[in-house]
Structure 1
C-alpha cells in the first residue's frame, strides 16, 4: 500500500537549508513531476484511513493545495487555502508562522466560527506552520475535526500534540539519514 508514495520518497534528493535536511519530492514540492496517480493514491488512502467529515477542508499554501484539491474531489467537501498573501477581506485572520527553515505571515479567509474543518498539509516537520494555523483556528472558534498530513518528519507531530492537544494523522513517517530518505509505515490507527 502507498507504493508510489514510498518509492517517490526513497528517490527524493536531499538538500541542506542551513542545518535542516530538506527532501525534495512531488508531494512536498511539486518537483520533480507530480503524477496524478501519486496524488490519487494519497487521497484515496486519506479517505480510507481517516474518513474526513467536515464542512470545509483547510489547506496551507502552497503544497497543501494539490492534496486538498484531490481530497475535495473525492469527498465533495469544499476547501479554503491559508494564503501567504494578505487580501484584506472582512474576517481575515493573520497568522505568524515559523518553521525550521523559514518565517512569514499567513492569512486565513473563508472560515467562520462553528465551521467543522479538516486541516490538510503535505508534511509536518518542526510543527511551526501547523501550530500557527491551529492556534488561529482556535481563536476563530472553529471545530477542528482532524489534522492530516501526508508525511510526518521529525518531532513536529509531537510538538503540535503537546502544544495544542491536536493529534496529527499522517500516512508515512520519514527521516533523512546519511543524505537519504528512510520511509516507515504508520499503521492505520497506529499514530499516537
Structure 2
C-alpha cells in the first residue's frame, strides 16, 4: 500500500499515517482477495480524524450540498464530512434497506447484477453532490451511484475514496467523473 493520493503534488504526513493504519487481510472473504480493512484505521483516532480532515479540506470551497455515502463503509465517512461541510447526508443502499419510496439503479457484477437505491426526493435537481466510499475497486457501485444521482438531476462533483485498488481499473467505469483517493493499493 502506498501513501500517495491522487493529487501527486500534495505531500502530507497524514496520508502516510492513514495508509499505515489500514490492515490488509489475505484471502478474505474468499481466496485471492487482499481485503483492505479500514476498521484498524477507525481504532486510531488520529488517523480517522486525518481522513475526515483531508476530505473536508478538499471539499470545503466546492459548494457541496449533498454528501452521498455508499453502503456500507461510505456511511462511516460521509456523515462527519457532511456535517463539517454544512451539507446533508444521503445514504445510497443495497436493495430493500430503505423504508418508503426509492429509486434504484442496477449494475453488473462479475457474476450477476445488484442494485443501489436512494430515497425519492432525497436529492434535488441541481444539487452539488460528493459521493464517498471507503474503496474503489472495479468501480461498479460508484458508477451506479453516479447514474442514480444524475437521474434525479444532481451534479456529481467528484467521487472520494480512502483506498483505490488501482490494478482493477475502477476509474475506467466512471467516465469523466473525477475521483479523489488518499491511498493507492495494488
State the number of aligned residues. 168
Alignment of 1:141-160 (within 5 A): 141-154=153-166, 155-160=168-173
Aligned mates of 1:35, 1:103 — CA distance in 2:
35
How far 1:158 moved relative to its partner?
2.9
Question: Structure 2 vs 1, CA of residues 39 and 97 (structure 1 numbering), >3 Å: closer, same or farther?
Answer: farther
- Please, what TM-score do these two structures have when normalized by structure 1? 0.75
Question: Structure 2 vs 1, CA of residues 53 and 39 (structure 1 numbering), >3 Å: closer, same or farther?
Answer: farther
- Please, what TM-score do these two structures have when normalized by structure 2? 0.77
Structure 1's unaligned 5+ residue stretches are: 176-192
Question: What's the RMSD between the two structures over aligned residues?
Answer: 2.5
How far 1:69 moved relative to its partner?
1.8
Question: Could you tell me which residue of structure 1 aligns to residue 183 of structure 2?
Answer: 172
Alignment of 1:17-32 (within 5 A): 17=29, 21-26=33-38, 30=39
Question: Could you tell me which residue of structure 2 aligns to residue 45 of structure 1?
Answer: 54
Counterpart pick for 1:55 among 49, 65, 71 = 65
Secondary structure of 1:53's aligned partner: coil
Counterpart pick for 1:108 among 111, 118, 121 = 118
Q: Which runs of 4+ in 1 moved over 4 A?
A: 16-20, 99-103
Structure 2's unaligned 5+ residue stretches are: 1-12
C-alpha offsets along residues 43-84 of structure 1, whole Å, 9 cap, x if unaligned? 111122344531110011101011102212322222110012
Counterpart pick for 1:119 among 131, 137, 146 = 131
Question: Structure 2 vs 1, CA of residues 101 and 168 (structure 1 numbering), >3 Å: closer, same or farther?
Answer: farther
